[in-house]
Amino acid sequence: MSRLPDFRLEVYFSRWEFTARHHLTASDAQTMTMAELLSLAAPEDVHAWETLSLGYTETYGALELRQAVADTYDTVGADDVICFAGAEEALYLAMQVLLGPDDHAVVLTPNYQAAETVPLSLCEVTGVALDPERDWALDLDAVAAAMRPNTRVVSVNFPNNPTGTLIPAADLARLAAMCDERGIHLFSDEVYRGLELDPARTLPQAADLSPTALSLNVTSKSLGLPGLRIGWIACRDRELRSRLERAKHYTTICNSAPSEVLARIAIKARDRILERNRGIIATNLPLFEEFFTRYGDLFEWRAPDGGCVAFPRYLGRDGVESFCTELVETAGVLLLPAGIYRSELTATPGDRFRVGVGRNDPGPALDALASFLDGRR
C-alpha cells in the first residue's frame, strides 16, 4: 500500500476557507440553523431529540435513520443502508473493502481527489476523462475499453464535482449493466442528487439499478448540512454491507447520536429542503450568467446541469493559478483553481476554476471580484 498524498483541496481550504472574506467556491448548498431544521421535524422526532440519550449508537446507524434513508430509494430497505461520518469515510472504507493489490479500478476525471487517490493507494487504476469540448460528456466505450478481467470497481460521480455535468439516464443504466455483466461493483457518488437544473434529468440511484452497486450520499451537499457529518452507502449486497460494518470498527465505530437524529429529520424533510435549495440556485444562476457575460473576455461560463458547483474557464494571460492566488490574497475572494483537480490518471484542463452557486446572496462576492478585475484593467 502506498501513502496517501496531501489532500490538495483540504490543504487549500485549511489556509483560506475561514479567513477569506468571500467564500465563492463553496461545494454545499445554503445551510440551516438548528431552529430552522427542528421546525421541520415531526412530533415523534422532536420527542426523540428532546429525550436523546448520549450513549454509543449502532455501527450501521440507527434503524430510524436507515429507514428514512431507504425511503428515498425504490428498491432499498433499511437493512441495505450503512451510515458513516460523512461521505469521505464511506468512500475511503468502501475502496479498502473492495480493492486489493491484485485488483484494478476505473475512475472518472476530473473528480473529488479521494475518488482517485484512495484507489491508487491500493491497486492499479485507469482514468476515463469527461470531455470538456462536449460539455463534459462521458464516453461509455472508453469506460468499457478501460475495464480488465481484474477490474473490481468503476467509480463515477453525477452530478459531477467540479463540473456540474449530468449524463443521460440511459447511459447510467447501460453502465450499471456493463458492470453487472463483468462482476464489477459500480460505485456511484450521488451527493448532489436533487439539485438538478431540470428535475426531469434526475438520474436513478445506482443501488436501484444493480444489486451490487453502491450509492454514496450525505447530508452535506444537496441538503446543505455538512455540520451533521452523516453520510451513507446504500447497497443490496448484504455480504458487502457486513464487510463495510467491520471496516468501520477501525475508524469511527459509530456516528454521533445527536447528528443521527438531526439527519433523520432532514432526510424526512428532504423534499422541502431541496425545493428551497433549488430556489436559491435558480435565483443565483442569472447573477453568475450576467457577471461572466460582462467579463466575457476573461471567462467562458457554463451553468451546471445539477449540483451547486460549476467549472468555468479562465482566459486571462496570467493563468488560473496566479489569478486565484492574487484574487484571494488581495481581494479576499476564494475560488479553487484547476490545479486542485489535476489527475495522475488523465490530462485535465489547466485553465478552469470551481465556483459555488448554492449559497445565499453571492452579490457581495461578485462585486468584490468585479472590483478586483476592474482594478487590473
Question: Which domains are delineated in the chain?
Answer: 8-32+272-376 (3.90.1150.10), 34-268 (3.40.640.10)
Tens digits of residue pLDDT in 207-237: 999 999 999 999 999 999 999 999 999 999 9
Vertex 195, ends 8 and 59: CA angle to 5°?
Answer: 65
The residues facing 126 across adjacent strands are 106
CA 326 to chain centre: 27
Judged against a pLDDT cut of 60, whether residue 368 lies above it is answered with yes
Cα 224 to Cα 273: distance, rounded to the nearest angstrom: 9
pLDDT-above-90 percentage for the chain:
99
Helix/strand number for the chain, H first, E second: 14, 14
Tens digits of residue pLDDT in 264-315: 999 999 999 999 999 999 999 999 999 999 999 999 999 999 999 999 999 9
C-beta separation of 282 from 315 below 8 A: no
Cα 146 to Cα 129: distance, rounded to the nearest angstrom: 11
Judged against a pLDDT cut of 60, whether residue 246 lies above it is answered with yes
Interacting residues of 207 by C-beta distance below 8 A, sequence separation 6+: 73, 75, 76, 80, 188, 213, 214, 215, 234, 235, 236
Return the closest-CA partner of residue 357 out of 9, 30, 19, 12.
30
pLDDT-above-70 percentage for the chain:
100
pLDDT band at 1 (very low <50, low <70, confident <90, very high): low
pLDDT band at 367 (very low <50, low <70, confident <90, very high): very high
What's the pLDDT score for residue 377?
A: 77
What is the average pLDDT across 123-145?
97
Cα 166 to Cα 369: distance, rounded to the nearest angstrom: 28
What's the pLDDT score for residue 185?
A: 98
Radius of gyration of the chain (CA): 20
Q: What is the mean pLDDT of the chain?
A: 97
**Structure-block grid coordinates of residue 309:** 458547483
What's the pLDDT score for residue 321?
A: 98
Tens digits of residue pLDDT in 9-19: 999 999 999 99
Cα 81 to Cα 65: distance, rounded to the nearest angstrom: 9
Helix (H) or strand (E) holding 354: strand 353-356
Alpha helices in 233-338 (DSSP H): 238-248, 257-268, 270-294, 320-331
**CB neighbours of residue 283 within 10 Å:** 13
Tens digits of residue pLDDT in 20-33: 999 999 999 999 99
* 3-class secondary-structure state, position 335: coil
